[in-house]
Structure formats: structure tokens, C-alpha cells
Amino acid sequence: MKLTRNFALSEFKCRDGSLPEGELLDNCQELADNLQVLRDHIGKPINIISGYRPPAYNKKIGGAKRSQHLLASAADIKVSGMAPAEVHTTVIKLIKAGKMKQGGVGKYSTFVHYDTRGTAARWSGGK
């Protein structure tokens, strides 16, 4: 199922094969719409390394108890040819410009976390 010009629902599925359903599908659509803004801005494909996570899987991998991944409103992303710091800065600029929804933006050594929680949250992590 295509969510946007460049994103399909399958890209957001959990590694255990679970897909978001019901109202979670609406959250995933909003996330994909915002990631499409980023994709259009940078002109490069975005690789989603982690999207939706059902509770059992999130617990298994040690995810945060209130992770936005549980709501299908978060994605950990990589962009070939761009360092995570550059992706992080670009997302924040697009949020400040009102082009992407306010949310959580986390910078890690190999990827960036973005979510559509509606309030600003910023952090840097390991991994």
C-alpha cells in the first residue's frame, strides 16, 4: 500500500512482520507525509531502519516504554550520502520553517529518529 509518492506502508513494518492497523495506520500516514517533505527537500531516498513496533517487540529490544514507535508515529532513518548530523539539522530546520510537524528528533551515530508527537523533544544518543 502506497502512503506517499516515495513511501509504502511496508517500509514502516516491524522486523517481526507486524504492520500498523486502525488508528495506528493514520499515525503512520502522518509520519510518511512528513518524511515525504524531508525526501522532497533533500532529493535523496530515505531508508527507514525502524518504524512501527508492537509492544512485545518493543519490550524485547529494550525500547522506551512510551516509545512513539508503539504508536506508529516514529521512524529511525538513514540517508545515503548524508551524515546523521546533517539529516538531524535539516529536519529541525524544516520543523522551524513549519514544513514538518513538530516532534521528537534524536541524533545517533548512525541514524536519526523523527516522530510526530506534536511537541518538541531533542536528544543525542549512542548506537
pLDDT in tens, 54-83: 999 999 999 999 999 999 999 999 999 999
Q: How many domains does the chain have?
A: 1
Q: Report the percent of the chain where pLDDT is more than 90.
A: 98
Tell me if 4 is assigned to some domain: no
Question: Count of residues for the chain?
Answer: 127
Tell me if 2 is assigned to some domain: no
C-alpha cell at 11: 517500509
Does 126 or 52 have the greater pLDDT score?
A: 52
Domain that residue 20 falls in: 9-124
Tell me if 72 is assigned to some domain: yes
Tell me if 1 is assigned to some domain: no
Tell me if 114 is assigned to some domain: yes
Q: Domain of 61: which CATH number?
A: 3.30.1380.10
* Confidence (pTM): 0.95
Tell me if 31 is assigned to some domain: yes
